[in-house]
Amino acid sequence: MSRLVMKFGGTSVADLERIRRVARLVAAEVAAGHKVAVVVSAMSGKTNELVAWTDDAGPSAPGLPAHDDEYDVVVASGEQVTAGLLAIALRKIGVDARSWLGWQIPIISDHAHGRARIDDIPGEALAASVDGGQVAVIAGFQGVTPEGRITTLGRGGSDTSAVAVAAALKAIRCDIYTDVDGVYTTDPRIEDKARRIKKISYEEMLEMASLGAKVLQTRSVELAMAQRVPVRVLSSFVEPGEADPDTGTLVCDEEEIVEKRIVSGVAYSRDEAKITLLGLPDHPGVSSRIFSALADANVNVDMIVQSRSKDSSVANMDFTVGKRDAAKALEIMNAAKAEIGFEEAKVDEDVSKVSVIGVGMKSHVGVARTMFTALAGKGVNIQAISTSEIKISVLIPSAYTELAVRALHAAYGLDQ
């Protein structure tokens, strides 16, 4: 008896017609002998609408708590609707099914409302129900604190719900159905020469996701890697039995991959903002003060570049933060201006990060040269660079994002 987890994202459950098709895909796996748990997202657009309502309704009056906890109560509701509808659609075609909300399983999380982490899934009741032959239709994205308050797992969090449930159920695999038929060498929406990757290592997928390829939420890949859950990404826009048996992308251990490339993919993120501090005193302890102030306020810093002109005794520093932290970071810097001692702080939100990823970089030279030569050839100016063993990222003006992605895709021989 093998348990299987299937996850369907927002576009896959966008209306009743699509929910019926999802029901047919689930029914086919049940007929093939699997014990199935399905994780669903809200219908596409629903979560954005709910988020906008909470923004409109808030903020809290001074002296009262911020409304992050109630944000989760509202925003988690989209998934409840699809879980119920899919259970109904399954029963209609003769498949026994029931919905499970996050708190009913329960999917226990920490207290970080809006971006909670799963701590534990006591999955006995769920496993017993699934093994008894009733398909479990689980509302993704939802958690619950030990005190019983609703949480959500961050945007795109249903992927993480699915992998966590797969780990808790010791499922043979977690199938992530979405609106593309796999993980591509870059976002197929901006490069039509992108190719499907048949197998990708956890390590590379983790970098791709955290550098902007939103096909899988970063935490879902972290969790899959830690728990060794095989993940397959595939299209929900096919009827059962119609898909090519070789379809999709398998996210798995590096050892399982025969065909190895130096660069496997190109990712981009527009969710960046650059903060520049001008006229910094150039002596020990300054950087420590800057980054301690940001860390104390929970602001995550990504790239950092310090520069000093030849004859100057002062330095300049650029660093990047997520767009939604930009205003906060600027405020923190200005509040600490006297203590740090810089002359001026400014923010630039018109920047993007473009990255190339590949485990082959560990053992090949010249990867950076190819990147910089390709970008120079298109006249793209690089504002900051960061590297790890398996990726190189550059910060560029956001107007050049597509151009840079396409140039790099071609330069590394990834075009079809």
Give residues in contact with Mg ion (CB under 5 A).
9, 156
SS3 content of the chain, % helix, strand, coil (to 5): 40, 25, 35
Binding part of the chain for ligand ADP, among 45-53, 186-194, 315-323, 380-388 by CB under 6 A, reads 186-194
Position 188 contacts ligand ASP (CB under 6 A) = no
* Residue 415 CB contacts under 8 Å (≥ 6 apart), including other chains: 193, 195, 409
* Identified binder of ligand ASP from the candidate list 155, 193, 261, 323, rule CB under 6 A: 155
- The three-point CA angle 95-83-20 to 5° equals 55
> What track of x and - describes contact with ligand ADP for positions 152 through 181 (by CB under 6 A)?
----x---------------------xxx-
Q: Is 248 exposed, middle or buried, given 0-12, 13-18 or 19+ CB atoms closer than 10 A?
A: buried
Site for ligand ASP in 273-312 (CB under 6 A): none
357 near 208, Cβ under 8 Å?
A: yes
Residue 179 contact, options Mg ion, ligand ADP, ligand ASP, none, Cβ 5-8 Å cut-off depending on partner type: ligand ADP
Task: Identify which of residues 71 and 141 has a Cβ nearer to ligand ADP in the complex.
Answer: 141
> Contact between 140 and ligand ASP (CB under 6 A)?
yes
DSSP one-letter string for 101-130: -GGGTT-EE-S-TTS--EEE---HHHHHHH
Q: Which residue has the closest beta carbon to ligand ASP?
A: 158
Q: Please select the residue that binds ligand ADP; options are 20, 24, 214, 261, rule is CB under 6 A.
A: 214
Taking the complex as a whole, the smallest distance from the CB of residue 115 to ligand ADP amounts, in Å, to 16
For residue 187, the partner it binds in Mg ion, ligand ASP, ligand ADP, none, with Cβ less than 5 to 8 A by kind, is: ligand ADP
Which of 11, 201 has the CB closer to ligand ADP?
A: 11
Identify residue 168 by its one-letter amino acid code. Answer: A
Residue 9 sits in the site that holds ligand ADP (CB under 6 A): yes
DSSP string computed for 133-160: TPEEEEETTEEE-TTS-EEE--TTTHHH
Asked, as a colleague might, if the bond just before 59 is cis with ω within 30 of 0, I would say yes
Q: Which of 3, 9, 303, 340 binds ligand ASP (CB under 6 A)?
A: 9
Q: How far is CA 249 from CA 208, 240, 303, in A?
A: 14, 18, 30
Q: Which amino acid is at 410?
A: A
- Contact residues for ligand ASP, defined by CB under 6 A: 9-10, 41-42, 47, 78, 140-141, 155-159
